Amino acid sequence: MAAGPSRPMSPDDKYFQRTARAARTDNPMDPYEESMDGRSAKIEKAVQESRTPKGDDVTGYTYVAEMQNDSGKTIAIVYWEYEFVEIANPANVVRRQFLCALKIKTGERKELSAFTLLGPSDGLALESLAKSPDKAFNEKAQINRIELSDGAILQRQDWKFADVKEAVKRATSSPWGRETCRAL
């Protein structure tokens, strides 16, 4: 971004005048803002902002769970999921699964947080909409698999890594930024 000329020093910028102006209760304006240079600086700033490309807003969901490591060893990778069961139609179950690469030492608590464009459900029963708008789902977060730093693996019995192996390859194929968790 191009920098404009530096602000010129005027008698109103001296310490006594600045503090007297700041102490006033009628909130007087800074004289520089109404000067030719001040208005030019505002215009230049607006021009620079208009030339800067803006990113599109993305509507998505952040899934959050908190876990504590009581395993006695350092955790390296966590596979977890957020499960939604529609109250009006319990057969409608949706799971959003995530992979987190992070170090959790013994006794340490960490918040697992993942952003995805996928919401709690792909569809709702009409009965869910007719009932209370406050809560349409029963929700729970659960740990599917933990990989410890020494190579040991702790896994839920009814969860299979083979079911998500391709999703894990996709999620880990691009370099990680500052995020610690990714959707599978």
For residue 46, give both structure tokens.
């607006």
Mean pLDDT of the chain: 83
Indicate the burial class of 58 (C-beta count within 10 angstroms; 0-12, 13-18, 19 or more).
exposed
Q: What is the pLDDT of residue 179?
A: 86
For residue 117, what are the CA distances in angstroms to 30, 38, 58? 45, 43, 8
Residue range 152-163, pLDDT digits in tens: 999 999 999 999
Fill in the amino acid letter for 64. V
Provide Rg for the chain, Cα atoms: 27
Judge contact between 137 and 85, C-beta under 8 A: yes
* Residue 120 near residue 84 (C-beta atoms within 8 A): yes
Sign of the four-CA dihedral 20, 26, 27, 32? negative
What pLDDT, on a 0 to 100 scale, did the predictor assign at position 155?
A: 93
Of the candidates 53, 67, 49, the one whose C-alpha atom is nearest the C-alpha of residue 103 is 67
pLDDT at residue number 27: 67
User: Beta partners for 143?
Assistant: 80
Tens of pLDDT, residue by residue over 140-153, are 999 999 999 999 99
Give the per-residue pLDDT at 40: 84
Cα 50 to Cα 21, 58, 143: the distances in Å are 33, 20, 46
* pTM exceeding 0.75: no
pLDDT by residue for the chain (184 residues), tens only, comes to 455 566 666 666 677 777 877 777 676 677 677 778 778 888 888 888 888 888 777 788 899 999 999 989 999 999 999 998 888 778 888 899 999 998 999 999 999 999 888 887 766 555 555 565 677 788 899 999 999 999 999 999 999 999 999 999 998 898 888 888 999 8
- The amino acid sitting at 119 is G
